[in-house]
Structure 1
Amino acid sequence: MASQETVVRTDRPIVVDATDHIAGRLSSNVAKLLKQGHRVSLVNCEKIMYSGTRSNLIKEYRAFLEINSIINPKHGPVHYRRPDTIITKMIRGMLPYEKKPSGIVAHKRLRAYIGSPKELKSFDKIQFEKAKIKKSASNYTTMGELCRVIGWTE
């Protein structure tokens, strides 16, 4: 019976509008939904917010980009530059991805989009109130801004 409930829950995706959400809090809420068996689609990933000064975020991410393998760069960590792939990797880190098969299955139910695709326009979009930014938007940096600086070309 529990497997039938899971099938019923995964028919329609939960569409989350990621505009003005803090990245980590959004990721943890989405990871929780994925663990419960829901299909989740994130839209407007370029409008996700990072807290912290813009210059410090850029400096930290550029330092991360310098990490690679001494033997062959393709063996090193993959450095994503698109907002949808960065948030997908962030959510993957909050799932039991390498420990359990259920984490891999949960990660396959996630879809992230830049902007809002036509096929999801008719769905109701939800937002997590606890993950929304509290201060004015000038105190945060959008993921789109950060990605453009580190090499994302739209």
Structure 2
Amino acid sequence: MVSGSGVCAPRVVVDARHHMLGRLASILAKELLNGQKVVVVRCEEICLSGGLVRQKMKYLRFLRKRMNTKPSHGPIHFRAPAKILWRTIRGMIPHKTKRGAAALARLKAYEGVPPPYDKIKRMVIPDALKVLRLQAGHKYCLMGRLSSEVGWNHYDTIKDLEKKRKDRAQVAYERRKQLTKLRVKAEKAAEEKLEIIATWHHSMGHNFPHYEEKHQKLLGATKNREDVTERAE
């Protein structure tokens, strides 16, 4: 996001899972107006306060609003979660001005986590999280479920794609963890060999300070690697 010095990150990827729609939209609108480029993923898991039946009735009332003489002139009724979020943010931005149009152009929203954003670190916004902002026991519904009830046809497709993505991520994580263990094992073996070599040189009266320096560096790297492995497990 925009730092205190006013410097923007090149691009911020926000994981919208279990964020409240209005709070998320207001924070993102402010960041977009400040010049930040934002990508929002997993829009189908955004939360709305209130039960599904109540939210569906509200949205159906919105769907009935149209221009009598020419309905294609508006209002346009979006069904996809990403487009609903986009429209919500648009309502918080002066989008008919050049500044507002430029801010809205910095926003990208997607259902699921499409490439290349599946390999980029994603962040959350604590001020918009459901667990911190919604009263305990209060009813809520997911935007993907609501969208599927009012005409969005890709809910099951996105669920299948997300399941495949999570399976791939789990396989990659296990492989990464295994490689870390192998690296730690190799570093321990190298450390033992260095100790034997250093002991032999000392017994012969040789002085090789670079051996000691390498040994200390390797020892520190091995300890750090062990700490990382323990935390990962």
Same fold (TM over 0.5): yes
Give the secondary structure class of the aligned counterpart of 2:36.
coil
1:68-83 map, 5 Å: 68-83=66-81
- 1:137, distance to aligned residue in structure 2 (A): 8.6
- 1:96, distance to aligned residue in structure 2 (A): 1.4
Partner of 1:67: 65
Match of 1:56 among 54, 57, 61: 54
User: Do residues 152 (structure 1) and 152 (structure 2) align?
Assistant: yes
Q: Distance between the aligned counterparts of 1:26 and 1:76, measured in 2?
A: 25
Q: Distance between the aligned counterparts of 1:102 and 1:69, measured in 2?
A: 28
Query: Please, which runs of 5 or more residues in structure 1 have no aligned partner?
Result: none
Partner of 1:110: 107
Displacement over 3 Å in runs of 4+: 135-138
Partner of 2:25: 27
- Rg larger for: 2
User: Do residues 9 (structure 1) and 4 (structure 2) align?
Assistant: no
Structure with the higher fraction of residues in strand conformation: 1
Size of the alignment, in residue pairs? 147
Check conservation: 2:29, 2:93, Cα contact below 8 A. yes
- 1:9, distance to aligned residue in structure 2 (A): 3.1
Q: TM-score, normalised by structure 1?
A: 0.89
Q: Distance between the aligned counterparts of 1:96 and 1:75, measured in 2?
A: 20
Partner of 1:126: 123
- 1:117, distance to aligned residue in structure 2 (A): 1.1
Q: Distance between the aligned counterparts of 2:32 and 2:70, measured in 1?
A: 34
- 1:151, distance to aligned residue in structure 2 (A): 0.4
Identity of aligned residues (%): 35
Q: TM-score, normalised by structure 2?
A: 0.60
Q: Distance between the aligned counterparts of 1:148 and 1:130, measured in 2?
A: 27
Give the secondary structure class of the aligned counterpart of 2:79.
coil
Partner of 2:87: 89
Partner of 2:139: 139
Give the secondary structure class of the aligned counterpart of 2:100.
helix
Give the secondary structure class of the aligned counterpart of 2:130.
coil
Q: Distance between the aligned counterparts of 2:75 and 2:146, measured in 1?
A: 19
Q: Distance between the aligned counterparts of 1:137 and 1:76, measured in 2?
A: 37
Give the secondary structure class of the aligned counterpart of 1:125.
coil
Q: Distance between the aligned counterparts of 2:44 and 2:137, measured in 1?
A: 14
Q: Which amino acid aligns with 2:74?
A: G
Q: Distance between the aligned counterparts of 2:145 and 2:11, measured in 1?
A: 28
Q: Distance between the aligned counterparts of 1:74 and 1:130, measured in 2?
A: 37
- 1:138, distance to aligned residue in structure 2 (A): 7.8
Match of 2:44 among 42, 46, 68: 46
Partner of 2:184: none
Q: Which has the higher contact order (CA 8 A, sep 6+)?
A: 1
Q: Distance between the aligned counterparts of 2:74 and 2:95, measured in 1?
A: 19
Pair 1:113–1:13, CA change in 2 (3 A): same
